[in-house]
Structure formats: C-alpha cells, structure tokens
Amino acid sequence: MSEQSIIGKGTWIDKLAHELLEREKTLGRNMDLLRVESGLGASGVPHIGSLGDAVRAYGVKLALENFGYKSELIAYSDDLDGLRKIPEGFPDSLKEHLGKSVSAIPDPFDCHDSYGMHMSSLLLEGLDKLGIKYDFRRAKDTYEKGLLKDQIHTILENSKKIGEKISELTGQEKFQQHLPYFPICTNCDKIYTTESFEYISDEKKVKYRCKDATIGSQNINGCGHEAEADITKDLGKLAWKVEFAARWQAFDIRFEAYGKDIMDSVKVNDWVSDEILKFPHPHHVKYEMFLDKGGKKISKSLGNVVTSQTWLKYGSPKSILLLLYKRISGARELGFEDIPSLMDEYNELENIFFGKIKIDNPAKETKMKGLYEYVNLLNIPKTLTPYVSYRLLIELSRIFKEKRTDLVMKKLIDYGILKNPEPQIEDLITMAGNYADDFDLQEKVDVQIDDATKKALGELADLLGADDEPDDLQNTIYQIAKKNNVQPKDFFKILYQIILSTNRGPKIGPFILDIGRKKISQTLDSYL
C-alpha cells in the first residue's frame, strides 16, 4: 500500500465512505445530506453484536464528515416486530404475548411504555455510553404517521412480481400465495399469524385471515378472524423481505451495513428498491457474526449474550469501539476474556498515535493512527494518557482487595509507572478490580521459547518455588539469564509475556514478590 493509495485515515471505514461517495457521484444524486441507517432489534436483549451495526454505520458517518459531507445516523427500532421467543431470564408471563407486536406488550419491568421500548432503550443506552449520536425512529411511529404508505402501496401493487422474485432469489415461496404485508389481527392482537390475500388498491386496505403459524420455533395459534387493515396506519407492517427497501426510499438512506444472517433479505430488498421503488439501494457492507467461545452464534434466546452494560463493568467504552472498528470481515469469537487484550491494545494505539511507539511501515502507521482516531470518534485527546497495563492492574487488584484503589495506585508509583496519583487511572483500577473479582485471568498465552530460555525459566521456577527468598531477586533473574546465554532484556520480555501477556511492565523482581513467588513458579512450570 503506497502513500498515494491511502484513503482518508487509512482504515476500512474510510475506504467504505470513499466507495459510497464515488457511487453517489455516479448516480448523480443530491449529496447535501448523506444518511446512514442501522436497524435496532426490539424483540430480544441487545448484545455487543447488536451495537456493532449502529457503531459501524456511525463510523461511516464520521468518515463522510471527514471528507467534507454532511451526514447523520438513523437508528431505527423495529418495534412492530412480533415476539417469537421469551429471552433468557425474562418472566414466563410473557408467554401470553407470544406473537404480538413488541410495542403492544407491557414492559415486564415497568420502566418503559412497552416491552419493545425496554429492549430498544437497552441498546440506545449502550450507544449513548459509547458517545454515538443518532436520530432515533420507531416502527410504531413510522407506520402510525403513514411515512411508508406510498412505498407499501407500490409494493403491494407489484406483489405478484415481488413474490416471484423472492422465490427466485431465496427459494421462499409463501409470498407467491400471500402479500408481503402482515396486519395486526384486530381480534387477538397477533402479527405473523395473519395472511394477507388481497389488496384493495383504491381503498389502500389489505384483506387478511388469522391462522395458526410457526414463528421461529414456536407454534402460535391464530384465531380464525378475517378483516381488513388500513396500510396508512400502524395496523400492520411489511415483511422483512421488502421493508428495508421501503425505509431506504422514505428516509433517503445511502448506506446500511448488514449481518451475514440476513443476506437473503438484503438481496431481495436491493432488488425491490432498484426495480420496484426506483430508488438505488444504499451502499452496503456485509459483516460476520460474533460467536461465543464455543463457536456458537451469540443469541438472545440461547442466553450467551455479551451485553454492553456488563462489558462496561470491566472495560472502557473505547475497548468496545476498538473491537468494532478493528476490522469488519471474518467471524470472531467474543467473550469477556477479550477485554484485557483490547484495553492494552488501545494503550498501544495511543502510544503509536502520540509517537511513543514507532512503526516502520508508513501505511500501517497511518492505519493504526486512523483506527485510534475512529475509536475516539474523531475527537482526539489532547494529551497522552499515562500507560498502565490493564493486566498489571488486574494482578495488583487480586492482591489488594481492601482499600484497592489507594494501594494499587501506591504500587504504580512505587514501580515508577506513575509519578503521582492519576484520576483517569482510578476508573481503570475500578474496572480491573471488577474483572479480578469476577474472572480467572490466568489463561496460558502462546510464547515462543527456545531451549536456552526454557532452561533459564526452569531454574527460575525452582528458585521461586523454594522456601528461601533470594536477597536480590532482580539481580538473581539477571544472573540466571546470563548463565544460560540468554540476553537479560529478552528474558525479562519473556517473563512479561508469560505473567502479563505484554512485552513490558514494572521492575520484574519486586513485581514477582508482590504477586507471590510460588504462584509465579507454578505459572512458569506450566510453560516447561
């Protein structure tokens, strides 16, 4: 990658924004305001992956603004969606509401106007804590105000053609028999149990019947009711296969990311947008799903959800932003055990940005500095935060449980890492303390060890495991390295990698004594 080929700040975000701008110029569309969109699920507990859609879209918004264009993010909550499953940990009383729109279900926790708004608020709270700015819109309001009525009308008038295309593109045949619109049954209040079989074009009404249906893994009983629904009101909603397209045109959306799991829906919506609504579909980027550490898709119903609320107990907002902005391609396993490495990686990026760490490759340096800027939402700190390894804070927090903040801060000063107490570090100590209390950090890291180093580690492990404490442990470690023909600086680096998963840290001798000689001896033994 040459200097000439670097786009913007050198990240995938800049590349996407540039592609979008070039496409819009080719299309000849008005570029006074470039809207990006993110759909928010309102039927289940939002996890880090749910945030990702909006955060990535916001990154593109920032890049567009950096290129000199006005942009905004629309965060759209699909709160007319039907409840398919009861999320893990939610009351069984919700069973009576299965199949109903989540905006019509009471909030089981009595803090919002509906179940759907409760779920949306959890996600919005996460976005707020990350510093993401958005224009929030609800499906309920959108349909109630008739903002999609023209699009719905056009789609229903072309339903035969759309049904055939859906079958061609996805193999799904049901929309060849039924219209891609789900009324809310006026008798039982359920959605998705209704089948639309006729569109009365001049009245803008849909005829439907309410029948038994399988929604997700649930069999939902229909009531047999037949009636008509006015498409200009919030009495129903478009099927997913066509609804995105309607929103894109109504809201003038120019970019939307999507997950691999809804590829088919996006493929159909793109066609509907282009061919039926005559609105060029937005520029897209596809991202892979987050998986749990067992390789399973993170799912609200499986109860393996990593929420932003819980994450922020242990890690900073910037650690989430770094996770989501690092890259967009490839499936990734995700768990709370990723937090320490992300926290330390942010430290490294900051040091690169401020020139404390040098990168030989100019393109890579530009990209890493650009990533740091996006993680800070292009609002760059004016000064460098003192570098303190998060893993070091965790280890010290394991030692000091009483008066933790004061004692850990004192140790950092004793080690020469800080000159004075730093308020920013207090927050880090609190998070690291929470992590130390709730998780066992000691995972074996992959460290390259040659025979000479292995012999030196064995000797050090024996020494640390003995009853007698050496007079000067720092010097003893130095001598063990020299005796085994290992460069002391390389030996210290290996020790930091084993103990802290980093290349540097406090003076190693006193630190080992603080952690506990026999504990470190056992750790070293596991690498021999």
pLDDT tens, residue by residue, 193-209: 999 999 999 999 999 99
Q: How many domains does the chain have?
A: 4
Is 70 exceeded by the pLDDT of residue 354?
yes
The number of beta carbons lying within 10 Å of the beta carbon of residue 214 is: 11
Is the pLDDT reported for residue 218 higher than 90? no
Per cent of the chain over pLDDT 70 is 95
Q: Is the pTM of this model over 0.75?
A: yes
Q: Do 126 and 261 belong to one domain?
A: yes
Pick the more confident residue, 156 or 291: 156
Answer yes or no: is 173 within a domain. Answer: no
Cβ 219 vs Cβ 95: under 8 Å: no
To the nearest whole percent, how much of the chain has pLDDT over 90? 73
**29 and 71 fall within a common domain:** yes
Tokens 């990209």 found at: 367
Contact between residue 208 and residue 223 where contact means Cβ atoms under 8 Å apart: no
Q: Of 382, 408, 438, which residue is a domain's last?
A: 438
Three-class DSSP category at 332: strand
Based on the domain organization, do 114 and 210 belong to the same domain? no
Last residue of a domain, one of 219, 238, 257: 238
Domain enclosing residue 476, as ranges: 451-525
424 pLDDT higher than 50: yes
Instruction: Answer yes or no: is 361 within a domain.
Output: no
More confident residue, 383 or 445: 383
Amino acid making up residue 274:
D
| CATH value at residue 515 | 1.10.10.350
- 120 and 212 fall within a common domain: no
- Looking at the fold, whether 36 and 128 belong to one and the same domain comes out as yes
DSSP per residue, 103-141: GGSPPTTSSSSSHHHHHHHHHHHHHHHHT---EEEEHHH
Average pLDDT over residues 167-183: 95
- Same domain, yes or no: 405 and 277: no
d(CA 428, CA 297): 30
Whether 468 maps to a domain, the answer reads yes
Judgement on whether residues 77 and 214 belong to the same structural domain of the protein: no
**Residue 381 is assigned to a structural domain of this protein:** no
Question: Which of 268, 291, 314 marks a domain boundary?
Answer: 291
Tell me, yes or no, whether 226 lies in a domain: yes
Q: Is 102 exposed, middle or buried (0-12, 13-18, 19+ CB in 10 A)?
A: buried
Q: Are residues 27 and 130 in the same domain?
A: yes
- DSSP secondary structure string, 39-54? EE--SS---HHHHHHH
Pair 121, 255 in one domain: yes
Average confidence (pLDDT) over 184-193: 96
Closest CA to 11 of 326, 241, 226, 289: 326
pLDDT per residue as tens digits for the range 240-276: 999 999 999 999 999 999 888 889 999 999 999 999 9
Residue 300's pLDDT is: 44
Q: Over the chain, what is the mean pLDDT? A: 91
Interhelix angle 339-353/317-325, rounded to 10 degrees, is 80
**Token pair for 56:** 């990535």
Give the least confident one: 290-294, 378-382, 432-436: 290-294
In a domain, 130, yes or no: yes
Helix boundaries (H) for 327-403: 339-353, 362-375, 390-399
CATH of the domain at 141: 3.40.50.620
What's the CA angle centered on 403, arms 399 and 409, to 5 degrees?
75
Which two tokens mark 46?
A: 């939002």
In DSSP terms, 208 is beta-bridged to 196, 227
Cα–Cα distance measured from residue 446 to residue 460, given in angstroms and rounded to the nearest whole number: 19
Indicate whether 133 and 205 sit together in one domain.
no
| Domain co-membership, 58 together with 189 | no
Assess whether 141 and 186 both reside in one domain: no
Which amino acid belongs to residue 291? Answer: L
Question: Residue 298 pLDDT > 50, yes or no?
Answer: no
pLDDT, tens digit, 9 for 90 and up, residues 110-122: 899 999 999 999 9
* Average pLDDT rounded to a whole number, residues 459-478: 89
pLDDT exceeds 90 at position 150: yes
303-323, pLDDT tens digit by residue?
A: 456 888 999 999 999 999 999
In a domain, 445, yes or no: no
> Is 313 within a domain?
no
